[in-house]
Structure 1
Amino acid sequence: MDDLGASSRATTTSALSSSSSILSNFPLFSAFIAFTIAQSIKFFTSWYKEKRWDLKRLVGSGGMPSSHSATVTALAAAVGFQDGFGGSLFATALTLACVVMHDAFGVRLHAGRQAEVLNQIVYELPAEHPLAESRPLRELLGHTPTQVIVGALLGIVTAAIGHLIVRSVS
Protein backbone atom coordinates (compact mmCIF):
# COMPACT_ATOMS: atom_id res chain seq x y z
CA MET A 1 0.00 0.00 0.00
CA ASP A 2 2.87 2.37 0.78
CA ASP A 3 4.40 1.83 -2.66
CA LEU A 4 1.06 2.59 -4.29
CA GLY A 5 0.70 5.81 -2.30
CA ALA A 6 4.24 6.92 -3.14
CA SER A 7 3.64 6.10 -6.80
CA SER A 8 0.41 8.10 -6.78
CA ARG A 9 2.13 11.08 -5.16
CA ALA A 10 4.97 10.92 -7.71
CA THR A 11 2.46 10.82 -10.57
CA THR A 12 0.56 13.79 -9.12
CA THR A 13 3.79 15.75 -8.61
CA SER A 14 4.88 14.94 -12.15
CA ALA A 15 1.51 16.01 -13.55
CA LEU A 16 1.62 19.29 -11.63
CA SER A 17 5.14 20.11 -12.76
CA SER A 18 4.32 19.32 -16.39
CA SER A 19 1.14 21.41 -16.26
CA SER A 20 3.08 24.41 -14.96
CA SER A 21 5.77 23.92 -17.61
CA ILE A 22 3.33 24.89 -20.35
CA LEU A 23 3.67 28.46 -19.11
CA SER A 24 7.40 28.30 -19.74
CA ASN A 25 7.12 26.51 -23.10
CA PHE A 26 9.07 28.94 -25.27
CA PRO A 27 7.98 27.58 -28.70
CA LEU A 28 4.31 27.54 -27.72
CA PHE A 29 4.53 31.01 -26.19
CA SER A 30 6.31 32.37 -29.30
CA ALA A 31 3.64 30.93 -31.60
CA PHE A 32 0.86 32.42 -29.47
CA ILE A 33 2.51 35.86 -29.33
CA ALA A 34 3.12 35.88 -33.11
CA PHE A 35 -0.52 34.92 -33.75
CA THR A 36 -1.74 37.65 -31.38
CA ILE A 37 0.45 40.31 -32.99
CA ALA A 38 -0.62 39.33 -36.53
CA GLN A 39 -4.32 39.34 -35.65
CA SER A 40 -3.94 42.67 -33.83
CA ILE A 41 -2.28 44.21 -36.88
CA LYS A 42 -5.20 43.03 -39.04
CA PHE A 43 -7.70 44.42 -36.53
CA PHE A 44 -6.10 47.87 -36.48
CA THR A 45 -5.44 48.06 -40.23
CA SER A 46 -9.07 47.19 -40.95
CA TRP A 47 -10.11 50.00 -38.59
CA TYR A 48 -7.71 52.38 -40.33
CA LYS A 49 -9.03 51.48 -43.80
CA GLU A 50 -12.74 51.20 -43.01
CA LYS A 51 -13.01 53.61 -40.05
CA ARG A 52 -14.98 51.02 -38.08
CA TRP A 53 -14.09 48.29 -35.60
CA ASP A 54 -14.54 44.75 -36.93
CA LEU A 55 -14.14 42.24 -34.12
CA LYS A 56 -14.10 39.38 -36.67
CA ARG A 57 -10.62 40.56 -37.71
CA LEU A 58 -9.30 39.50 -34.29
CA VAL A 59 -9.94 35.83 -35.09
CA GLY A 60 -10.72 35.69 -38.82
CA SER A 61 -8.47 34.35 -41.55
CA GLY A 62 -7.10 36.18 -44.56
CA GLY A 63 -5.53 39.62 -44.75
CA MET A 64 -2.16 41.17 -44.00
CA PRO A 65 -0.13 39.68 -42.41
CA SER A 66 -0.86 35.95 -42.44
CA SER A 67 -1.35 34.91 -38.83
CA HIS A 68 -1.08 31.27 -39.89
CA SER A 69 2.39 31.94 -41.30
CA ALA A 70 3.41 34.01 -38.29
CA THR A 71 2.29 31.26 -35.92
CA VAL A 72 4.01 28.32 -37.59
CA THR A 73 7.25 30.15 -38.37
CA ALA A 74 7.45 31.43 -34.79
CA LEU A 75 6.94 27.86 -33.61
CA ALA A 76 9.60 26.47 -35.96
CA ALA A 77 12.12 29.21 -35.19
CA ALA A 78 11.58 28.89 -31.43
CA VAL A 79 12.06 25.12 -31.65
CA GLY A 80 15.27 25.76 -33.56
CA PHE A 81 16.52 28.29 -31.01
CA GLN A 82 15.62 26.03 -28.09
CA ASP A 83 16.57 22.56 -29.38
CA GLY A 84 18.90 23.34 -32.28
CA PHE A 85 18.33 23.76 -35.98
CA GLY A 86 19.88 20.39 -36.88
CA GLY A 87 17.44 18.14 -35.05
CA SER A 88 14.41 16.19 -36.12
CA LEU A 89 12.08 18.34 -34.00
CA PHE A 90 13.07 21.45 -35.94
CA ALA A 91 12.72 19.54 -39.22
CA THR A 92 9.19 18.54 -38.22
CA ALA A 93 8.23 22.09 -37.24
CA LEU A 94 9.74 23.52 -40.42
CA THR A 95 7.91 20.99 -42.59
CA LEU A 96 4.64 21.86 -40.83
CA ALA A 97 5.31 25.56 -41.43
CA CYS A 98 5.94 24.97 -45.14
CA VAL A 99 2.75 22.94 -45.54
CA VAL A 100 0.64 25.54 -43.72
CA MET A 101 2.10 28.45 -45.70
CA HIS A 102 1.69 26.63 -49.02
CA ASP A 103 -1.92 25.91 -48.12
CA ALA A 104 -2.50 29.56 -47.14
CA PHE A 105 -1.48 31.01 -50.50
CA GLY A 106 -2.43 28.01 -52.60
CA VAL A 107 -5.57 26.12 -51.76
CA ARG A 108 -7.22 28.63 -49.42
CA LEU A 109 -6.46 31.62 -51.66
CA HIS A 110 -8.07 29.92 -54.64
CA ALA A 111 -11.02 28.71 -52.54
CA GLY A 112 -11.63 32.33 -51.54
CA ARG A 113 -11.49 33.46 -55.15
CA GLN A 114 -13.94 30.72 -56.13
CA ALA A 115 -16.27 31.83 -53.33
CA GLU A 116 -16.13 35.36 -54.73
CA VAL A 117 -17.16 34.14 -58.20
CA LEU A 118 -19.91 31.92 -56.80
CA ASN A 119 -21.27 34.78 -54.68
CA GLN A 120 -21.41 36.99 -57.79
CA ILE A 121 -23.28 34.28 -59.72
CA VAL A 122 -25.80 33.82 -56.90
CA TYR A 123 -26.22 37.60 -56.63
CA GLU A 124 -27.18 37.77 -60.31
CA LEU A 125 -29.77 34.96 -60.08
CA PRO A 126 -33.43 35.92 -60.46
CA ALA A 127 -35.27 36.37 -57.16
CA GLU A 128 -37.43 33.29 -57.75
CA HIS A 129 -34.41 30.97 -58.06
CA PRO A 130 -34.06 28.65 -55.01
CA LEU A 131 -30.44 29.71 -54.44
CA ALA A 132 -31.11 33.45 -54.70
CA GLU A 133 -31.61 33.75 -50.93
CA SER A 134 -28.64 31.60 -49.94
CA ARG A 135 -26.09 32.99 -47.52
CA PRO A 136 -22.92 34.31 -49.18
CA LEU A 137 -19.77 32.22 -48.94
CA ARG A 138 -16.75 33.55 -47.04
CA GLU A 139 -14.35 35.09 -49.53
CA LEU A 140 -11.43 36.10 -47.34
CA LEU A 141 -9.89 32.67 -46.71
CA GLY A 142 -6.34 32.67 -48.02
CA HIS A 143 -3.39 34.94 -48.49
CA THR A 144 -1.30 36.41 -51.24
CA PRO A 145 2.36 35.37 -51.30
CA THR A 146 3.28 38.79 -49.88
CA GLN A 147 0.95 38.33 -46.91
CA VAL A 148 2.45 34.90 -46.26
CA ILE A 149 6.03 36.21 -46.45
CA VAL A 150 5.29 39.14 -44.12
CA GLY A 151 3.60 36.75 -41.68
CA ALA A 152 6.60 34.42 -41.82
CA LEU A 153 9.00 37.31 -41.16
CA LEU A 154 6.83 38.42 -38.23
CA GLY A 155 7.00 34.90 -36.80
CA ILE A 156 10.78 34.69 -37.14
CA VAL A 157 11.29 38.12 -35.58
CA THR A 158 8.92 37.27 -32.72
CA ALA A 159 10.79 34.04 -31.94
CA ALA A 160 14.18 35.76 -32.24
CA ILE A 161 13.19 38.55 -29.84
CA GLY A 162 11.71 35.97 -27.47
CA HIS A 163 14.93 33.97 -27.64
CA LEU A 164 16.98 37.05 -26.79
CA ILE A 165 14.71 37.79 -23.83
CA VAL A 166 14.91 34.20 -22.57
CA ARG A 167 18.71 34.22 -22.90
CA SER A 168 19.06 37.54 -21.06
CA VAL A 169 16.83 36.36 -18.21
CA SER A 170 18.65 33.02 -17.82
Structure 2
Amino acid sequence: MIIFDNFPLICSFTAIFFTQFLKYPIAYFSKGKNTPLAIIATTGGMPSSHSAAVSALITALILQYGFSSGYVAIATTLGVIVMFDAMGVRRQSGEQGIVLVDAIRELNRLSDKSPKTPQELLSEKDEEKVYPEEMALKKYLGHKPLEVFVGLLTGIFVAFVVRLFYQRTGLL
Protein backbone atom coordinates (compact mmCIF):
# COMPACT_ATOMS: atom_id res chain seq x y z
CA MET A 1 0.00 0.00 0.00
CA ILE A 2 1.13 3.52 -0.79
CA ILE A 3 0.77 4.95 2.73
CA PHE A 4 3.14 2.36 4.20
CA ASP A 5 5.83 3.49 1.76
CA ASN A 6 6.22 6.71 3.73
CA PHE A 7 8.39 5.55 6.63
CA PRO A 8 8.80 9.00 8.30
CA LEU A 9 5.04 9.64 8.22
CA ILE A 10 4.26 6.24 9.75
CA CYS A 11 6.85 6.90 12.48
CA SER A 12 5.27 10.25 13.36
CA PHE A 13 1.72 8.95 13.54
CA THR A 14 2.79 5.84 15.44
CA ALA A 15 4.58 8.08 17.97
CA ILE A 16 1.45 10.22 18.42
CA PHE A 17 -0.83 7.24 19.00
CA PHE A 18 1.69 5.44 21.21
CA THR A 19 2.25 8.45 23.49
CA GLN A 20 -1.46 9.24 23.71
CA PHE A 21 -2.19 5.68 24.86
CA LEU A 22 0.86 5.71 27.14
CA LYS A 23 -0.64 8.67 29.02
CA TYR A 24 -3.34 6.50 30.58
CA PRO A 25 -1.15 4.09 32.59
CA ILE A 26 1.16 6.94 33.58
CA ALA A 27 -1.77 9.03 34.86
CA TYR A 28 -3.36 6.02 36.52
CA PHE A 29 -0.26 4.99 38.46
CA SER A 30 1.01 8.48 39.26
CA LYS A 31 -2.26 10.30 40.02
CA GLY A 32 -4.85 7.54 40.37
CA LYS A 33 -6.95 8.99 37.56
CA ASN A 34 -9.18 6.36 36.01
CA THR A 35 -10.72 8.09 32.99
CA PRO A 36 -8.97 6.58 29.98
CA LEU A 37 -10.83 8.36 27.19
CA ALA A 38 -10.45 11.78 28.80
CA ILE A 39 -6.72 11.27 29.35
CA ILE A 40 -6.03 9.75 25.93
CA ALA A 41 -7.99 12.38 24.00
CA THR A 42 -6.56 15.44 25.75
CA THR A 43 -3.56 17.67 25.18
CA GLY A 44 -0.81 18.05 27.74
CA GLY A 45 0.43 15.43 30.14
CA MET A 46 3.25 12.92 30.24
CA PRO A 47 4.75 12.28 27.70
CA SER A 48 4.32 15.01 25.10
CA SER A 49 2.89 13.56 21.90
CA HIS A 50 3.92 16.74 20.09
CA SER A 51 7.56 16.12 20.97
CA ALA A 52 7.26 12.43 20.21
CA ALA A 53 5.81 13.11 16.76
CA VAL A 54 8.49 15.56 15.66
CA SER A 55 11.37 13.60 17.19
CA ALA A 56 10.11 10.40 15.51
CA LEU A 57 9.92 12.31 12.22
CA ILE A 58 13.45 13.69 12.63
CA THR A 59 14.85 10.28 13.62
CA ALA A 60 13.12 8.53 10.71
CA LEU A 61 14.46 11.12 8.27
CA ILE A 62 17.97 10.71 9.69
CA LEU A 63 17.70 6.92 9.34
CA GLN A 64 16.39 7.19 5.79
CA TYR A 65 18.36 10.12 4.34
CA GLY A 66 21.29 10.81 6.71
CA PHE A 67 22.16 13.77 8.94
CA SER A 68 23.08 16.11 6.09
CA SER A 69 19.71 15.86 4.35
CA GLY A 70 17.69 18.99 3.75
CA TYR A 71 14.66 17.06 5.01
CA VAL A 72 16.37 16.62 8.38
CA ALA A 73 17.13 20.35 8.53
CA ILE A 74 13.50 21.26 7.82
CA ALA A 75 12.12 18.71 10.30
CA THR A 76 14.60 19.73 13.01
CA THR A 77 13.64 23.39 12.64
CA LEU A 78 9.96 22.45 12.83
CA GLY A 79 10.67 20.16 15.80
CA VAL A 80 12.42 22.87 17.80
CA ILE A 81 9.51 25.25 17.18
CA VAL A 82 6.92 22.62 18.16
CA MET A 83 8.75 21.63 21.36
CA PHE A 84 9.36 25.23 22.35
CA ASP A 85 5.70 26.02 21.71
CA ALA A 86 4.58 22.97 23.73
CA MET A 87 6.57 24.20 26.74
CA GLY A 88 6.16 27.94 26.34
CA VAL A 89 3.17 29.46 24.63
CA ARG A 90 0.75 26.56 25.15
CA ARG A 91 1.76 26.14 28.80
CA GLN A 92 1.27 29.84 29.46
CA SER A 93 -2.20 29.60 27.90
CA GLY A 94 -3.01 26.76 30.29
CA GLU A 95 -1.79 28.73 33.30
CA GLN A 96 -3.93 31.67 32.19
CA GLY A 97 -6.87 29.26 32.05
CA ILE A 98 -6.32 28.44 35.72
CA VAL A 99 -6.35 32.14 36.59
CA LEU A 100 -9.57 32.60 34.61
CA VAL A 101 -11.24 29.71 36.44
CA ASP A 102 -10.24 31.24 39.77
CA ALA A 103 -11.61 34.62 38.66
CA ILE A 104 -14.92 33.01 37.61
CA ARG A 105 -15.19 31.29 40.99
CA GLU A 106 -14.51 34.54 42.82
CA LEU A 107 -17.04 36.48 40.73
CA ASN A 108 -19.68 33.81 41.30
CA ARG A 109 -18.92 33.80 45.02
CA LEU A 110 -19.22 37.58 45.21
CA SER A 111 -22.47 37.58 43.22
CA ASP A 112 -24.21 35.44 45.86
CA LYS A 113 -26.42 37.99 47.68
CA SER A 114 -27.49 35.80 50.59
CA PRO A 115 -25.41 36.16 53.75
CA LYS A 116 -23.48 33.04 54.70
CA THR A 117 -23.22 31.47 58.10
CA PRO A 118 -19.75 30.46 59.36
CA GLN A 119 -20.64 26.79 58.79
CA GLU A 120 -21.57 27.49 55.13
CA LEU A 121 -18.32 29.37 54.58
CA LEU A 122 -16.31 26.47 56.03
CA SER A 123 -18.14 23.90 53.91
CA GLU A 124 -17.45 25.97 50.77
CA LYS A 125 -13.74 25.80 51.49
CA ASP A 126 -13.91 22.01 51.73
CA GLU A 127 -16.02 21.49 48.61
CA GLU A 128 -15.26 23.45 45.48
CA LYS A 129 -18.25 24.54 43.45
CA VAL A 130 -18.19 23.54 39.80
CA TYR A 131 -19.59 26.13 37.44
CA PRO A 132 -20.56 25.52 33.81
CA GLU A 133 -17.99 28.08 32.66
CA GLU A 134 -15.22 25.92 34.11
CA MET A 135 -16.31 22.86 32.19
CA ALA A 136 -15.71 24.57 28.83
CA LEU A 137 -12.31 25.96 29.82
CA LYS A 138 -9.35 23.66 29.52
CA LYS A 139 -6.88 24.27 32.30
CA TYR A 140 -3.69 22.64 31.03
CA LEU A 141 -2.78 22.92 27.38
CA GLY A 142 0.99 22.65 27.38
CA HIS A 143 3.80 20.60 28.79
CA LYS A 144 6.43 20.78 31.47
CA PRO A 145 10.03 20.47 30.24
CA LEU A 146 10.27 16.89 31.56
CA GLU A 147 7.14 15.89 29.60
CA VAL A 148 8.68 17.34 26.42
CA PHE A 149 11.99 15.55 27.05
CA VAL A 150 10.29 12.19 27.68
CA GLY A 151 8.22 12.75 24.54
CA LEU A 152 11.43 13.38 22.58
CA LEU A 153 12.95 10.12 23.85
CA THR A 154 9.70 8.26 23.15
CA GLY A 155 9.67 9.50 19.56
CA ILE A 156 13.24 8.35 18.98
CA PHE A 157 12.39 4.94 20.47
CA VAL A 158 9.26 4.60 18.30
CA ALA A 159 11.21 5.45 15.13
CA PHE A 160 13.71 2.66 15.84
CA VAL A 161 10.95 0.15 16.63
CA VAL A 162 9.05 1.04 13.45
CA ARG A 163 12.31 0.72 11.51
CA LEU A 164 12.79 -2.81 12.88
CA PHE A 165 9.24 -3.65 11.80
CA TYR A 166 9.89 -2.25 8.33
CA GLN A 167 13.16 -4.19 7.99
CA ARG A 168 11.59 -7.48 9.07
CA THR A 169 8.63 -7.10 6.69
CA GLY A 170 10.76 -5.91 3.78
CA LEU A 171 9.03 -2.54 3.50
CA LEU A 172 12.28 -0.61 4.05
1:29-59 deviations in Å (ceiling 9; x for gaps): 1111111111111122233333522312222
Displacement, 1:107? 0.3
Which residue is 1:135 aligned to?
Answer: 133
Q: How has the CA–CA distance of structure 1 residues 100 and 51 changed in structure 2, closer, same or farther, with 3 Å as cutoff?
A: closer
Q: Distance in 2 between matches of 1:113 and 1:54?
A: 24
Segments of structure 1 that go 5 or more residues without pairing to the other structure are: 1-19
Which residue is 2:125 aligned to?
Answer: none
Displacement, 1:68? 0.6
1:62 aligned to which of 32, 44, 65: 44
1:52-103 deviations in Å (ceiling 9; x for gaps): 2231222210000001100111011111111222111111111111110000
1:82 aligned to which of 47, 64, 80: 64
Segments of structure 2 that go 5 or more residues without pairing to the other structure are: 113-130
Say yes or no: does 1:22 pair with 2:20.
no
Q: What percentage of residue pairs aligned between the two structures are identical?
A: 39
User: RMSD over aligned Cα, in angstroms?
Assistant: 2.0
In structure 2, give the amino acid aligned to 1:135.
E
Say yes or no: does 1:126 pair with 2:126.
no
1:107 aligned to which of 80, 86, 89: 89
Which residue is 2:98 aligned to?
Answer: 116
Helix, strand or coil at the partner of 1:126: helix
Structure with the bigger RCO (C-alpha within 8 Å, sep 6+) is: 2
Q: Distance in 1 between matches of 2:36 and 2:105?
A: 24
